[in-house]
Structure 1
Amino acid sequence: MAWGACIAALLLLLLAATGGNGNGGVHCLEEGSRSRSRRALQGRHHLRSRAVGGATVLELRHHSFSSAPSKSREEEADALLSSDAARVASLQRRIESYRLIGNDAAAVAASKAQVPVTSGAKLRTLNYVATVGLGGGEATVIVDTASELTWVQCAPCESCHDQQDPLFDPTSSPSYAAVPCNSSSCDALRVAAGMSGPAAACGGDQPAACGYTLSYRDGSYSRGVLARDELSLAGEAIDGFVFGCGTSNQGAPFGGTSGLMGLGRSQLSLVSQTMDQFGGVFSYCLPLKESDSSGSLVLGDDSSVYRNSTPIVYASMVSDPLQGPFYFLNLTGITVGGQEVESSGFSAGKAPAFSILDTCFNMTGFREVQVPSLKLVFDGGVEVEVDSSGVLYFVSSDSSQVCLAMAALGSEYETSIIGNYQQKNLRVIFDTSASQVGFAQEACGYI
């Protein structure tokens, strides 16, 4: 395993490409589920949100949605890890595109106009979702820290993926308004998408409206127009929230959700648009179990609502104007059982490799196994210990193939990524104003 390639700038990602039952995933992140009405929602899924002190708390739950026939554990694991690998490949290309722009001196002045939008959301059957209010209704959205724009499916829909709840109907909301082409929001979209010309994001049947297109690596996509409406987060109203009203959206990865919440570092993300309300600070805590449990997404800097059992330690974000919507930290080391991961001994697995995981073991016959501690080390000596459940990935139910839940990078030029599998039972705090990310141990449950 190319352990040395893991020591580099780290991309901290909240949305995951992986899913699975109990033991699935390596690289990325996701969010919870929703029902057909507020009463059914609260009664069946218990998706709740509320204001607590100076913070707004949203419940995060896993969301499973798949029309595919049931598969064996091995088949499901292979599909999920393949999906994870595709997600990572997409992100690596996005990161490299920003670097290429930065390396071209002639393009620096015009770099904002050349940044492509390829939202990396690569979801399969399991995601974390949160429910928000929009235009008087509700929407269950996948939460993604690598996406610039929040979007939902809108009626009338030309071509839409199947979702559990009714489509958002702009005509039913008196506060809905399309964003025109000559607006600053449309300009921000062009910057993010790398479009050029005054009408690059406009045209079609609604020439006065600002159109958008988000393309995903697996062929999934969302197309529609930018719009404004009232967003409600636990009773906190955000007037004139800019989002994508998608009338053509396809892709099995979206499952039965209404769309996607963008928490990336961009002018149109929810983080930026709610700066006055929440100060550019949000955090989440992801539970260990995929069913009968839920975590929390906290908006705002009121740490009194956390339930962390260890002090919060902060690592500085990498300051790079060309990093796009991503959150980067400087990863200086990884230790497993107290040993640096460069050690060649870690690659001596006792079972065949599986998909992108190449350090695997056969644990059949063992009544008890001691899981080694896995720590991530950041600039300044900041150490973050991964929960024991995020160290090993059980490919087979009989434990004949158990792999270290880390995958090697393709080359030393790629960027390391930490995802949801290693972030469970951690309170992860994104403070964009102070340009830092905090970590603390926390038994994750809805608070």
Structure 2
Amino acid sequence: MAWGACALLLLLLVLGAGGGGGVHCLEVTRSRRALQRRHHLRSRAESGATILELRHHGGGGGGGSGKSGGRSREEELGGLFSSDAARVSSLQRRAGGGSWAEDKAAAAAATGRVPVTSGARLRTLNYVATVGLGGGEATVIVDTASELTWVQCAPCASCHDQQGPLFDPASSPSYAVLPCNSSSCDALQVATGSAAGACGGGEQPSCSYTLSYRDGSYSQGVLAHDKLSLAGEVIDGFVFGCGTSNQGPFGGTSGLMGLGRSQLSLISQTMDQFDGVFSYCLPLKESESSGSLVLGDDTSVYRNSTPIVYTTMVSDPVQGPFYFVNLTGITIGGQEVESSAGKVIVDSGTIITSLVPSVYNAVKAEFLSQFAEYPQAPGFSILDTCFNLTGFREVQIPSLKFVFEGNVEVEVDSSGVLYFVSSDSSQVCLALASLKSEYETSIIGNYQQKNLRVIFDTLGSQIGFAQETCDYI
């Protein structure tokens, strides 16, 4: 994607009341070329704050059109956010809420660390990891709300545009299709809520699967097993979906890594190796950086800068593979918003955090009050609170903090507060969205989870959070 003018916008994040200096810096880059050419930026100390200057850099090569494949950046973002909204709607249905799926070094002991990177190069705003499968490799979206890992398989009757070769079952001697009478096929029916259509024809029919989503995307194929390799750890007989008909907003990835709470998820299948514990740290940058997916409970491999704080995981077996916690409050710029979202889903596969209308409106009102000096701009897709920051060298951004049950406070990284729609800063939006109904379930998306170590302890029924710089390359 070639943008006309490369720019680095450096924003001052005001935390309001609290310890330390009360101020952090937000750096948002709006050009992949700029990311690849980054240099240290000038800064200055002022009243206990560190302020980075707003600097613009020429894009090189003349004034680019800002388009890729005939589509503008805004058109591409609009499509991705529309898909995100459809995913949120799909999770609501599945949750029963209103309107409706080469690590640099091997870790010690029974812990596997897998690099996690931005999916921008694969045309997705989600995060991806590359794993070994049957002697080959697959780059998959890291998804905590999916109950099944699936990849596109050859020969493919209908597949989305994947970068790299499809998984070829014929090339793997350890690959085998699972029969209908297998326990995994039974577990699949329980996980997907489908009691019919799981078996094909023949004397020994194979176990087929269908995963469909509200936006019309889907994956269909057969349930199979093969060797899965994760950071040097090999899982024999790993059960996954071998999809031969797949369509949807999956970018150029191979498919999805299912990290949800179900019998067929990666976490359940590796319980003996990793004790049902995994964590991730999602990086800020779109290139030259990776976070990590850590399997196992060895905290020595983390790089957290603050102690891990845990909140209780809410268990609800009838509400799908989701990870629920109780959200008891939100603060904006140190000011407590008098509202509670109640039970929320922590999800790596949803991009933008979506809140029930009453909570969102309270957050929006407080943010607008603290951000009143900046001119507003039209909304964009699911983002309805936007501003025109053209011409500003420094912008003071109120902090965003989630408070979970047990008085667990989690501050959103400064880069997760605003989303830059336009390359000239004329449309910069609060990176939160409103759900349609109070009866739906709020979702904490990955855009607000960057630079956090998020730990899922399924056996201990708790989720932990710690600040961590997720930049391993």
TM tier relative to shorter chain: 0.7 to 0.9
Q: 2:367 aligns with which of 337, 340, 346?
A: 346
Structure 2 CA distance for partners of 1:206 and 1:330, relative to 1, 3 Å = farther
Q: Distance in 2 between matches of 1:69 and 1:365?
A: 30
Structure 2 CA distance for partners of 1:258 and 1:401, relative to 1, 3 Å = closer
Post-superposition Cα deviations, 1:172-205, rounded to whole Å, max 9, x if no partner, equal 22222111111111100111222336xx410246
Deviation for aligned residue 1:392? 1.1
Q: Distance in 2 between matches of 1:150 and 1:406?
A: 28
Is 2:444 aligned against 1:418?
Answer: yes
Deviation for aligned residue 1:273? 0.1
Question: What SS is found at the alignment partner of 2:139?
Answer: strand
The amino acid across from 1:154 in the alignment is C
Partner of 2:89: 89
Deviation for aligned residue 1:293? 1.2
Structure 2 CA distance for partners of 1:270 and 1:73, relative to 1, 3 Å = same
Structure 1 alignment gaps of length 5 or more: 1-20, 25-66, 101-122
Question: What SS is found at the alignment partner of 2:395?
Answer: coil
269-278 vs 157-166, which moves further? 157-166
Q: 1:260 aligns with which of 256, 262, 267?
A: 256
Q: Distance in 1 between matches of 2:254 and 2:80?
A: 22
Structure 2 CA distance for partners of 1:285 and 1:206, relative to 1, 3 Å = farther
After the TM superposition, which residues 121-160 of structure 1 pair with which residues of structure 2 at under 5 Å, given as runs? 125-160=124-159
The amino acid across from 1:86 in the alignment is A
Would you say the 8 A contact 2:97–2:440 is kept in 1?
no
After the TM superposition, which residues 287-306 of structure 1 pair with which residues of structure 2 at under 5 Å, given as runs? 287-306=283-302
Partner of 1:402: 428
The amino acid across from 1:71 in the alignment is R
Question: What SS is found at the alignment partner of 2:129?
Answer: strand
Q: 2:465 aligns with which of 422, 439, 443?
A: 439
Post-superposition Cα deviations, 1:258-290, rounded to whole Å, max 9, x if no partner, equal 221100100000000000001111111111111
406-415 vs 205-214, which moves further? 205-214
Q: 1:334 aligns with which of 330, 334, 343?
A: 330
After the TM superposition, which residues 22-171 of structure 1 pair with which residues of structure 2 at under 5 Å, given as runs? 69-96=69-96, 125-171=124-170
Partner of 1:62: none
Partner of 1:184: 183
The amino acid across from 2:207 in the alignment is C
Q: Distance in 1 between matches of 2:264 and 2:445?
A: 23
Structure 2 CA distance for partners of 1:235 and 1:417, relative to 1, 3 Å = same
Post-superposition Cα deviations, 1:194-230, rounded to whole Å, max 9, x if no partner, equal 2336xx4102468521010111223222111111111
Structure 2 CA distance for partners of 1:156 and 1:395, relative to 1, 3 Å = closer
Q: Distance in 2 between matches of 1:156 and 1:396?
A: 40
Greater fraction of residues in helix:
1
Deviation for aligned residue 1:359? 2.3
Aligned length: 360
Post-superposition Cα deviations, 1:334-371, rounded to whole Å, max 9, x if no partner, equal 11101233364435664133322222223233221122
Structure 2 alignment gaps of length 5 or more: 1-27, 32-66, 101-121, 338-361
Q: Distance in 2 between matches of 1:345 and 1:299?
A: 39
Q: Distance in 1 between matches of 2:99 and 2:418?
A: 33
Deviation for aligned residue 1:238? 0.8
After the TM superposition, which residues 247-286 of structure 1 pair with which residues of structure 2 at under 5 Å, given as runs? 247-251=244-248, 253-286=249-282
After the TM superposition, which residues 175-254 of structure 1 pair with which residues of structure 2 at under 5 Å, given as runs? 175-196=174-195, 200-204=197-201, 208-251=205-248, 253-254=249-250
Question: What SS is found at the alignment partner of 1:248?
Answer: strand
The amino acid across from 1:77 in the alignment is L
Scaled by the length of structure 2, the TM-score of the pair is 0.71
The amino acid across from 2:92 in the alignment is Q
Post-superposition Cα deviations, 1:33-60, rounded to whole Å, max 9, x if no partner, equal xxxxxxxxxxxxxxxxxxxxxxxxxxxx
Q: 1:370 aligns with which of 376, 388, 396?
A: 396
Deviation for aligned residue 1:70? 4.4
Partner of 2:311: 315
Would you say the 8 A contact 2:123–2:252 is kept in 1?
no
Structure 2 CA distance for partners of 1:249 and 1:82, relative to 1, 3 Å = closer
The amino acid across from 1:324 in the alignment is G
Structure 2 CA distance for partners of 1:246 and 1:337, relative to 1, 3 Å = same
Q: Distance in 2 between matches of 1:411 and 1:369?
A: 33
Structure 2 CA distance for partners of 1:83 and 1:161, relative to 1, 3 Å = closer
Partner of 1:110: none
The amino acid across from 1:173 in the alignment is S
Supply the RMSD in Å over aligned alpha carbons: 2.5
Is 2:386 aligned against 1:386?
Answer: no
Post-superposition Cα deviations, 1:405-433, rounded to whole Å, max 9, x if no partner, equal 11122121111111111111111111111
Partner of 1:358: 384
Structure 2 CA distance for partners of 1:264 and 1:286, relative to 1, 3 Å = same
Q: Distance in 2 between matches of 1:206 and 1:345?
A: 64
Identity %: 80
Would you say the 8 A contact 1:99–1:322 is kept in 2?
no
Question: What SS is found at the alignment partner of 1:318?
Answer: coil
Partner of 2:359: none
360-369 vs 87-96, which moves further? 360-369
Scaled by the length of structure 1, the TM-score of the pair is 0.75
Structure 2 CA distance for partners of 1:98 and 1:394, relative to 1, 3 Å = closer
Question: What SS is found at the alignment partner of 1:209?
Answer: coil
Deviation for aligned residue 1:99? 11
Post-superposition Cα deviations, 1:131-176, rounded to whole Å, max 9, x if no partner, equal 1111122211111111111111222222223323222222222222
Q: Give the number of the structure whose alpha-carbon radius of gyration is greater.
A: 2
Post-superposition Cα deviations, 1:217-250, rounded to whole Å, max 9, x if no partner, equal 2322211111111111122111111111112222
Q: Distance in 1 between matches of 2:409 and 2:465?
A: 9
The amino acid across from 1:300 in the alignment is G
The amino acid across from 1:288 in the alignment is L
Would you say the 8 A contact 1:98–1:324 is kept in 2?
no
